Amino acid sequence: MKARYQYRIYPTDQQKQSLAQLFGCVRVVWNDALALCKQSEKKPKSSELQKIVITQAKLTLERAWLSEVSNIPLQQSVADLDVAFKNFFDSCKRKRKGRKVGYPKFKKRSQVSQSARFRIGGFSFKGNNVYLAKIGIVNPIWSRNLPSEPSSVTVIKDCAERYFLSFVVEVEPIQTEVKNPSIGIDLGIKTFAVMSNGEKAESPSYKKLDQKVRKLQRKLARQPKDSKRRNVTRIKIAKLHNRIADTRKDFLHKLSTKIVNENQVIILEDLNVSGMVKNRKLSRAISQQGWREFRTLCEAKSEKFGREFKVISRWEPTSKICSDCGFKWGKIDLSIRSVLCLNCGTEQDRDENASRNIEKVGMGNCHDYKWAQRDCKTTSVAEPCEASRITADENPVSISNPEHNFVCIF
């Protein structure tokens, strides 16, 4: 399987100027090729596009400066456009899984995040340094060793004007011993992850950094456009956003690695994040958690370590059913954090109960067909004639205890 290894670099002023020229040439080649594709009735082949927008364009006065940079990133830009069209057509035909991919767009000159990719022949290793064609030798900060020879390297400049080298390498699956056969994970805001084995992972606090971002954003709104001070403030905001993103990424990487190392089967719930962020009071906190990124990391690392990764349906009533006896409580308000089940008499923590239900459903113990739209049902200990067996449709009466913060359903 392929993986990316990213390292920070600090280019010289001359190299920054050369990289800026390279990023601009890559953007122009992409835009020229996309404009040709829009004008023609049938999409031209990648080789034809390269001949028109690179080889023939260098002979004209308008595009003669394309010969000042390496030819490999320009060819790769056309190849990337071809991949973008392929993904778009596959998405239209429903051959591609995941979100719907839109039509390729033109790249703006004002785009703050820029990149250029070098294939084999455009870069080489010289000791601990990396040579990039027509850029020079750069010295990456080697935080870890590369597992194999890279097939390509991408030079990235982010919105905070930081530079990175991203290597694509082949990695072999790693087999390690597991402690638990399976684990269910319930994701939240204050407590990021509650696991079925009782462990909890608290989310890092972004409050102080978020307050600084809001203060600088108010300052940015008062400054005139295209001024130097506004650009300085914009860079400060970008650096704070990067600190938040780096803190979150570090936390998610460590947590996902720990979970995948210790468990054979990892089970998550398919959350409707796009619907959750419509809540104006919680949208900012939900967006900062990175639930989708955590799911992607767990899925990728499960493949790397030979684990099994499962995602259950978002319609499973994991918070409405007792994990011990299978008794259905019905809908409970979010302010209620623990529930006393009158069927088996156990007091259940809301999140821990949901994580245990996620594990059971993921391992094949399905809930009610009406709720989960599955073929089999969960057996219940309670008798059907009991008056306390009330579903969400029957308007249950709840009595909450303010001292213990739990609710009894009857």
Three-state secondary-structure class, residue 103:
coil
Whether residue 323 is contained in a domain is answered as: no
- Same-domain pairing of 184 and 137: no
Q: What per-residue confidence (pLDDT) applies to 220?
A: 95
Range of the domain at 370: 338-409
- Helix H or strand E encompassing 166: strand 163-170
DSSP state of 137: E
- Same-domain pairing of 200 and 159: no
CB burial of 193-206 (b: ≥16 within 10 Å; e: otherwise) equals bbbbbeeebebeeb
Share of the chain above pLDDT 70, in %: 89
Beta strands (DSSP E) in 280-401 are 308-312, 338-340, 347-349, 398-401
Separation CA 397–CA 408 (nearest Å): 9
Told to judge if 246 belongs to the known catalytic residues of this protein, a careful annotator would answer no
Residues 185 and 194: beta-carbon distance below 8 Å: yes
Which of 140, 170, 200 terminates a domain? The answer is 170
Whether residue 319 is contained in a domain is answered as: no
Pairing of strands 180-187, 263-269: parallel
- Same-domain pairing of 25 and 158: yes
Whether residue 317 is contained in a domain is answered as: no
- Same-domain pairing of 214 and 100: no
Told to judge if 351 belongs to the known catalytic residues of this protein, a careful annotator would answer yes
Least confident interval from 139-148, 159-168, 205-214, 339-348:
339-348
Q: Taking 70 as the threshold, does the pLDDT of residue 227 lie above it?
A: yes
Find the mean pLDDT for residues 343-372.
Answer: 76
- Same-domain pairing of 166 and 26: yes
Calculate the dihedral angle through the C-alpha atoms of 94, 99, 101, 107, rounding to the nearest 10 degrees: -170
- Same-domain pairing of 73 and 152: yes
Q: What per-residue confidence (pLDDT) applies to 151?
A: 94
Which of 106, 140, 170 terminates a domain? The answer is 170
Pairing of strands 163-170, 152-157: antiparallel
Catalytic residue among 262, 351, 359, 368: 351
Whether residue 23 is contained in a domain is answered as: yes
The pLDDT tens digits for 62-110 are 999 999 999 999 999 999 999 999 999 999 998 888 788 999 999 998 8
Calculate the average pLDDT of the chain: 85
Minimal CA–CA distance to 182: which of 306, 372, 360, 377? Answer: 360
Whether residue 350 is contained in a domain is answered as: yes
211 CB burial (10 A radius; 0-12, 13-18, 19+): exposed
Least confident interval from 38-42, 275-279, 351-355, 382-386:
382-386
Q: How many domains are contained in the chain? A: 3
Separation CA 49–CA 54 (nearest Å): 8
Three-state secondary-structure class, residue 141:
coil
383: left (phi over 0), alpha (psi -120 to 50) or beta: beta
- Same-domain pairing of 157 and 224: no
- Same-domain pairing of 275 and 227: yes
305 CB burial (10 A radius; 0-12, 13-18, 19+): middle
- Same-domain pairing of 306 and 390: no
Q: What per-residue confidence (pLDDT) applies to 366?
A: 59
Whether residue 329 is contained in a domain is answered as: no
- Same-domain pairing of 302 and 389: no
CB count within 10 Å of CB 238 equals: 19
Q: Taking 60 as the threshold, does the pLDDT of residue 398 lie above it?
A: no
- Same-domain pairing of 196 and 303: yes
Whether residue 148 is contained in a domain is answered as: yes
Told to judge if 269 belongs to the known catalytic residues of this protein, a careful annotator would answer yes
- Same-domain pairing of 303 and 345: no
Catalytic residue among 186, 262, 299, 368: 186
Which of 123, 149, 170 terminates a domain? The answer is 170
